Chain A
Amino acid sequence: MKTLPPVDVVIIGGGWTGLLMAKELASRTALSIVVLERGKQRETADYFATMDELDYAVRLQMMQDPSQETIKWDPSVREAE
């Protein structure tokens, strides 16, 4: 297992929330921050004009390959609440 140098803050997931928190923390504090994002490397070109709603949203190519790891959710959890 690879060990990375310790940092003050680890943000898991570089989505809207994660990236905003990282930006705010970086601009307002002196903390060292690492954002962890899984999946393959994506460039701007992957988001601009290469895929449409059918590819990205309907066929789920925006996500991790669902053949490796299926979408998981348990409706009974909400019912139990």
Chain B
Amino acid sequence: MLCAMRRREFLTLSAASVGGMLVCSLDRKVCRLSAQATKSVRIPLRFFTESEALVIAAAAARIFPSDETGPGAREAGVVIYIDRQLAGPWGRDLHRYTHEPFEDNAPAEFGYQGKATPQQIYREALKKLKGFTELTASEQDKRLKEIESTVFFSLLRRNTIEGMFCDPIHGGNVDMLGWQLIGFPGPQMSNYADVDQHFGEAFRPKPASLQQVTEVNDIRLSEDER
């Protein structure tokens, strides 16, 4: 209930900065926008404030930059993915075993054994990243290098990769940009028919998302609506 009472924060992006086309699974609606028709996009945020979202977007764009090889975290909507994940059960550690003893310096193979939830880790770390968006790219890299060994950075790095390559149903990998980059065809149920048709030649199908493959159109309920 508290969640619903909270004043909604929006992330305003210029349509050009997110690439030409954008498919966003926001508010359970999928919309397609074009830079020609729309000047800016207002995306409702579920966890971040707008300034926090801009810092995360900038940091993710340094971890997975857009360059001559193709689009990166900015175009793939990684910040939206991270916002949704943090607002959901994962962000609140709903399914993590959180009983004592907590151990912040446990060996890596045990995974994270601390007490703080991903929400708390992000919020705390973001306090120390004020002004990050005003830095130049190389200054941002330097700032990220300084926090490279923190739990926050390892989460951010992992979440950035997830947001690049997860199914678009989670809010990232917009337009399946990540899959197009690496030539992943998506969760194809079968390639049976393609084997004969493309026998002996390289076969790179256009990726299809879970929703396209299964033709299931009911969009998954967001956590605050369950």
Q: Interface of A with B (CB < 8 Å)?
A: 48-50, 52-54, 58-61, 65-71, 75
Contacts and interface: CB of A to CB of B under 8 A. Distances in A.
Contacts of B90: 59
Given A59-B90, A75-B109, A52 B96 contact: no
Nearest to B166: A54
Contact of B170 (A50, A54, A61): A54
A70 B187 CA distance: 29
B169 interface: yes
B28 to A, nearest CB: 16
16 contacts: A49-B214, A49-B216, A52-B166, A52-B169, A52-B187, A52-B210, A53-B166, A54-B166, A54-B170, A58-B162, A66-B97, A67-B93, A67-B95, A67-B98, A69-B97, A71-B97
Contacts of B162: 54, 58
Interface residues of B, number: 19
A66 B167 contact: no
B213 interface: yes
B193 interface: no
A49 B216 CA distance: 8
A67 B213 contact: no
A68 B166 CA distance: 27
Interface string B198-226: 00000000000010011010000000000
Nearest to B220: A50
B94 interface: yes
A31 B185 CA distance: 46
Interface in B84-122: 90, 93-99, 109
Given A49-B210, A49-B216, A54 B95 contact: no
A52 B167 contact: yes
Contacts of B97: 66-71
Contact of B167 (A54, A60, A67, A68): A54
B106 to A, nearest CB: 12
Interface string B159-171: 0001000110110
B95 A66 contact: yes
A9 to B, nearest CB: 34
Contacts of B170: 54
A52 B186 CA distance: 10
Contacts of B216: 49-50
A70 B152 CA distance: 23
Q: Which 9 A-B pairs have the closest CB atoms?
A: A70-B97, A49-B214, A52-B167, A54-B166, A67-B95, A66-B97, A67-B97, A65-B95, A52-B210
B156 to A, nearest CB: 16
Nearest to A61: B95
